[in-house]
Structure 1
């Protein structure tokens, strides 16, 4: 895919790898609709990226609001070519200490939100004569279970299963589906997690955005449906 003049949707776009995806796409000529809950962060990002970035204040766990936005934004003459389902939250606790609200928030944002938006975008992509691409950002936690993040594991394992089924369902419609499994990235995802601190050996946001750029720019009949990324040395160099 040539990214120039394409239309993309990026969720969780206001910070971290979502903001980096948006920057990478805009720099390559793509029109980007960036979805996130923080209006202030989105407007700040728009000032940096310019008019090709459209800030959209949206909670992707609200299916009704998503449907209204998609209906108002897209049409037969204005269809998305790229969907990057990136928004995610993580809470850490032993299973008996994880609250009902924390569990439901992770499932609603990390898994349900992907379904809510994807089901609306797929019909538009099926009408697109060009090859389209859906990229679902999971996590290494979608491949390996770990103590104290059972809810996050469950949501990201779900993303993998959804992505696997979706890739087989949509491949003959000219729609690629890739599930991405990053290890630790130097973002604010871990800010509220006890015992985990960011350090220089975590992957950079540009590592992930560069890989996603490569995935998007592959030839139309070439698909990488799953890709795992890790830091070579994951240990804090100061420890």
Structure 2
């Protein structure tokens, strides 16, 4: 049985990714930061699912977690770096705290998780997959999201770099950049209908599972010749 780790794996897009990988037969470890109720609810829905609470911005905590997972299962085949937060605001009014909160989770959390997992994949010669979740904000920018867009753009860049570094090890590293997806985050938008009508050519928000399906494909052997690519899932909103 293949083993997959999904950060931010108990809510929103991450929940769908966890669920789809689970149904594909993976042993999934869903990593989350704070919402115990959501994690336990998902675990009840998916018997055998492992949940782990971890602050991924803490490199020591991440190393401890990844080591524990490897000792439990003897392998790690897939890492999905999905965890992310927003702290929106206009650039000139954005505090250093808002910047660092987003950088520490969105970027350094990904760095910590990826470094710990790639060390194992490389040392144990596992032809694994790493899938990073970016955003259209990281490709095209978004007003009020300088911090978020910067981290998501960095995720696209680090994906391309690591794909080249680890290609000799037969480790595939790709990126998925969702646009407007039906989640708790987008449900709070006041102008949803306007966005659908005037910005998204398909005239609707995407469903979380539509992102998850791409992730599952990239995690599979069907994607063995794909690495260093960014897949934009946005209903035709931007050209990449």
The normalised TM-score by structure 1 is: 0.88
Does residue 39 of structure 2 align to residue 42 of structure 1? yes
Does residue 188 of structure 2 align to residue 184 of structure 1? no
Structure 1 vs Structure 2 CA RMSD: 2.2
Q: How many residues align?
A: 228
| Residue number in structure 2 paired with 1:169 | 165
**Aligned 1:221-232 pairs, distance under 5 A:** 221-224=224-227, 225-232=229-236
Q: What is the deviation of 1:157?
A: 1.0
Q: What is the deviation of 1:189?
A: 2.5
Change (3 A) 1:191 1:76: closer
Change (3 A) 1:203 1:191: closer
Change (3 A) 1:30 1:149: same
Which protein is richer in helix relative to its size? 2
Q: What is the deviation of 1:188?
A: 1.6
CA deviations on 1:135-176 (whole Å, 9 max, x unpaired) are 000001111122211111111111111111100000110100
**Aligned 1:54-65 pairs, distance under 5 A:** 54-65=50-61
2-structure distance, mates of 1:57, 1:50: 18
| Residue number in structure 1 paired with 2:200 | none
1-structure distance, mates of 2:20, 2:237: 26
| Residue number in structure 2 paired with 1:203 | 206
2-structure distance, mates of 1:155, 1:130: 28
CA deviations on 1:181-230 (whole Å, 9 max, x unpaired) are 111111122466x6554878110001111111222224364115221111
- In the alignment, structure 2 segments of 5+ residues that lack a partner are 197-202
- In the alignment, structure 1 segments of 5+ residues that lack a partner are 235-239
2-structure distance, mates of 1:40, 1:59: 17
Change (3 A) 1:35 1:181: same
Q: What is the deviation of 1:129?
A: 4.3
**Aligned 1:1-239 pairs, distance under 5 A:** 5-37=1-33, 38-51=35-48, 53-75=49-71, 78-190=74-186, 195=190, 197=192, 201-219=204-222, 221-224=224-227, 225-232=229-236
Single out whichever of 8-17 and 94-103 deviates more from structure 2. 94-103
User: What stretches of structure 1 move > 4 A for 4+ residues in a row?
Assistant: 194-200
